[in-house]
Structure 1
Amino acid sequence: MATTGTGPALPAAWPALPIDRASRASLVEQIVAAIAAMVKRKELRVGTRMPSVRQFARSNGVSTFTVVEAYDRLLNLGLLSSRRGAGFFVARSAPPALLPATGVDPMVPATTTVDALTPDLYSGVSEALPVGAGWLPPEWYGDTTILDAVRQAMKIPANRLRGYGHPLGFPTLRQHLAAQLSDSLFAVDAEQILLTHGATHAFDLILRTLTRPGDCVLVEDPGYSNLTSLIRHHGCIPVAVARGDDGLDFAMLAAQAAACQPKLMFVNTVLQNPLGTSLSQAQAHRLLGVAEQFDFWLVEDDIYRELAARGEASLAAMDGLRRVIRVGSFSKTLSPVLRVGSICASPSLLPELLRVKMLAGLTTSKINERAVYHAVSARPYHKMVEKLIGQLQSHRERTIDVLAEVGMTPVARPRGGMFVSAGWPADESNRSARLIAGQALKAGILLSPGEFFMLGPSPTVWFRFNVAYAAEAPALLTFLHTVRP
């Protein structure tokens, strides 16, 4: 390849990339993936000058706007650099965090996991049996608890309807949360609590505050599917750390942390979604040690703690909110319609999180927060949660028995909570859980395939089952009999 004073030059004729206009992936995604692959194969070496935006657009029959966005993504990912007046140049010899253990090339943007199935998994308006959904039946929360709380919340004097509400969130709810956490887990002040529109909003604020495009973020694999898409949306690179029946793979965690120097890691300490497992006290201590060694934040997704046994490990309690940011939510013990979550963080970090919250959307809903306060502070609440735990336990055991009838075994043995993830051993048919989920939807059954929760391909066909709906569902059993290997 010829060289110039500014580094290796491309051939005069830039080769057309294999762009498929019928693909579900956008033109931008295909261009980014193709160039990342060329860098990986060393067809493009460090210092190679890329064609101008107009040259690239002309060679590939795309608009200059498409090329600009693709180059911008490649800049954010660190694969390209730009020099004023000189153009764009290859900046890396290999994608960061490219470890065989991840199962995928994290630099090649995957198509989003949100497809025709996922809106139904969150909307609650589908007529399909919600075996794969993340919410409990409304009647499990009690007949009047939520309605009474909403009625109480609406009783606001007119003179309190001025303004947008407290930036941190409804003070009385924050004080209640601080008292509950201080009593059961760790000492925290109400001024260290920021209320959000649910846990996903909390994750978004944390990513906005602590990461920049191109940063690596560690995630559990399998783990929360929406989180991976959110990380990619921010231009960051999700990097997998395997989690199974025995907890986290610490050898893989150390290797990934050393390779990609992550800014933070998201982890479900208790009743992990989708496996339902919990980290032991020893594993939690070890995780804190790795975070300290490689200097990254730990975001503890703690939304299932109220459904777990007392005494389970708490990263926030062990760490005292020095390196841990705790995210909570009420969607699992109250209705998910009440979108209220919380962030507990150190006094040094909270002001910046608050600033980002106000920039991104001002304050959160005082009505929702008042309703949550009235619900969780009412006398029947704790009895309702205890009843939930009992119902989940009996339905969980029944679900495991039902799935065994069609040859399905748990991916991991859950310690509690709402989910059982189970599947069949690997076979030679190369079947896809996603395709089976599509067939199930046509049969009126909403499944969550294992691919939703993993960064790479799964060696087996498995699904996450909501035990509240799967335990007593003859239609599910009939369908699984028809598709079993």
Structure 2
Amino acid sequence: MRLEIDSKTGVPLTDQLVDQIESLIRGRRVLAGAKLPSIRQLAADQKISRFPVIEAYDRLASLGLIQPKHGSGFYVAGHIDDAERGNGRCNPRLAEEESNQILQQFNYPGETLKLSSGFIPESWRDVDGLTQAIRHASRMDVSSVIDYAMPYGDASLRHQVQMRLHLLGIDADLKNLMITCGASQALDLVVRFMLKPGDTVFVEDPGYYNLFGLLKLQGVKLVGVPRLATGPDVDAAEELLKIHQPKLFFINTVFQNPTATNVAPQVAFKLLQLAQQYGFSLVEDDIYADFQAVPTQRLASLDQLDRVIYVGGLSKTLSSSLRIGYIAANAELVKNLVDVKVLTSLGGTRFSEAVAANLLERGTYRKYLERLRRRVRDALSGAVQQLEACGWDVFDEPSGGNFVWARVPGIDDSTVLVDEALKYGVTLAPGNYYRPSGDDCAYVRINSAHTGDARAVRFFEAMGERVPKN
């Protein structure tokens, strides 16, 4: 493998290594399966430090061009289709109540602790990595600052999403993928195209209240299916299917909002059997996927995008402001959803897509996720112990993520907790927000990232004192 690295050009050594090795691989001058020189050997051959070689190999692995094999070294990955991937570069072508519930987590008056918020703290985010990627995109891809995005989304970002889905066992081609302005737009596009007023859908109870509002806005009938620790209650769903004919069933697979539980494999199989038997499709909302270090079973990996529409995104982990989401589905449906996207918003935000692609390509996002997962895991474990020590009941053991679905024994209506929390400078969303029917609920959603705050501690302890003594 002949490389010409020149430290006097002003081009970073890492960039030179990445560009030249990428060119060799894409030009088939280094074939799939070939072993690359070790980090030590390549550094010695080029008379450079090992650090730019380490970073270059990391970026090439993030691009899917090479694969590390533990204890063996680095190898060229499988077939790379330049025409399909565009060389990894993007060229331009082409109801009041629910709203108020959502707005409360943004602009509730005063300096209260928003204990039910859905966000991770700013201090946990990789702000430095974000700003570096923003500067890089502004400097190296000026057109991304001013031009429309491609309807399907940035080519390199779609390729990164494709590789991430492959790790989950979802074999999606690029024609099965589109980038959206957050997972919220992804859900909106599905609802706009696939549903009409009067249609029926199944949702989880409790579940994602923003989705409930969106569906109600479209005049869609919601039927709640109880959420258990193992996923939707499939026995209840089967009974409901004898009465209703849903077009779609919306499900959170991993770290469900708000219960933080996962769909068990046997439940996933049964859901797919019911979908086939009764003729509905499943919308798998997997927005919390990146919080999970070791992937569990996805509906889309079992179904391979036949009856499953898979939705994901980066807003919950990377940046809420960048608004990066995506849809994986059968190619014909994706094409139709792209048409709806163009009609309603012309396209995505090309600059945000370029920034996100840069973070994924360089491996910055992967390293950040490793740190974030540890922090989230520790916070969640501490929150559960803290609540249980105060006498609260936790809905099963959370599988991960940053939510705890909990209640105070003896208090059947969580609005009591909401009122009490204000006395301690804490705001909570009542549990009925998370129910499609809006019925009373004893549980509240708690963001584990904020449970260490002194205001939260005092509130937990005060409510714990109201737990009936045996």
**For residue 445 of structure 1, what is the aligned residue in structure 2?**
426
Over the aligned positions, Cα root-mean-square deviation in angstroms equals 2.3
Matches within 5 A, 1:7-406: 112-115=97-100, 118-122=102-106, 127-155=111-139, 157-158=141-142, 163-406=147-390
Is the partner of 1:259 in helix, strand or coil? coil
Residues 149 and 374 in structure 1, CA contact (< 8 A), matched pair in contact too: yes
Query: How far apart are residue 449 of structure 1 and its match?
Result: 2.2
CA distance in structure 2 between the partners assigned to 1:157 and 1:234 by the alignment? 39
Structure 1 residue 163, shift from structure 2 partner: 4.7
* Pair 1:475-2:455 in alignment: yes
Shift of 1:340: 0.9
For residues 415-466 of structure 1, the C-alpha deviation after alignment (integer angstroms, 9 at most, x for no partner) is 1111111102345xx6x32353245346432323211111246665221111
Contact between 1:177 and 1:190, CA under 8 Å: does it hold in 2? Answer: no
Give, in angstroms, the shift of residue 196 of structure 1: 1.0
DSSP-derived class of the 1:367 partner: helix
Distance 1:157 1:182 in 2: 28
Residues 144, 350 of structure 2: 8 Å contact kept: no
Q: Percent identity?
A: 32
The answer to whether the 8 Å contact 2:137/2:144 transfers is no
Task: Summarize the alignment of residues 416-431 of structure 1 with structure 2, pairs less than 5 Å apart.
Answer: 416-427=400-411
**Structure 1 residues 163 and 481: CA distance shift in structure 2, 3 A:** closer
**SS of match in other structure, 1:355:** helix
The alpha-carbon distance between structure 1 residues 145 and 157, as it changes in their structure 2 partners (threshold 3 A), is closer
- 1-side partners of 2:253 and 2:459: how far apart? 34
Q: Per the alignment, do residues 367 and 123 of structure 1 end up closer, same or farther by CA in structure 2, a change over 3 Å counting?
A: farther
Q: Secondary structure at the match of 2:215?
A: helix
Deviation sequence 1:267-303 (CA, Å, 0-9, x none): 0111111111101111111110111111111000011
For these two proteins, the number of residue pairs brought into alignment is 371
Which amino acid counterpart does residue 426 of structure 2 have in structure 1?
A: I
Structure 1 residues 407 and 344, CA gap change in structure 2 (3 angstroms)? same
Tell me the amino acid that sits aligned with residue 251 of structure 2.
Answer: V
CA distance in 2, matches of 1:211, 1:418: 32
Query: What is the deviation of 1:477?
Result: 2.2
Q: Cα–Cα, structure 1 residues 443 and 183, in superposed 2: closer, same or farther, change >3 Å?
A: closer
Compare 472-481 and 283-292 and name the one that shifted more.
472-481
- TM-score, length of structure 2 as denominator length: 0.74
Q: What is the CA-CA distance between 1:315 and the residue it aligns to? A: 0.8
Q: How far apart, in 2, do the equivalents of 1:124 and 1:359 lie?
A: 34
1:215-260 Cα shifts (integer Å, max 9, x gaps): 0111000001111111000110111000022322112111222212
Letter in 2 for 1:405: A
Hey, what's the Cα distance between the residues in 2 that align with 1:152 and 1:438?
A: 47
Tell me, in whole angstroms, the C-alpha distance in 2 between the residues paired with 1:114 and 1:157. Answer: 37
Asked whether the 8 Å contact 1:423–1:460 carries over to 2, the reply is: no
Partner of 2:442: 461
1:138–1:335 CA contact under 8 A, matched in 2: no
CA distance in 2, matches of 1:402, 1:410: 11
Does the 8 A contact of 2:145 with 2:351 survive in 1? no
| Unmatched 5+ stretches in structure 2 | 1-94
8 A contact 2:254–2:289 mirrored in 1: yes
The separation in 1 between residues aligned to 2:126 and 2:351, in whole angstroms, is 21
Residues 396 and 419 in structure 1, CA contact (< 8 A), matched pair in contact too? yes
In the alignment, is the contact (CA less than 8 A) between 1:153 and 1:368 conserved in 2? Answer: no
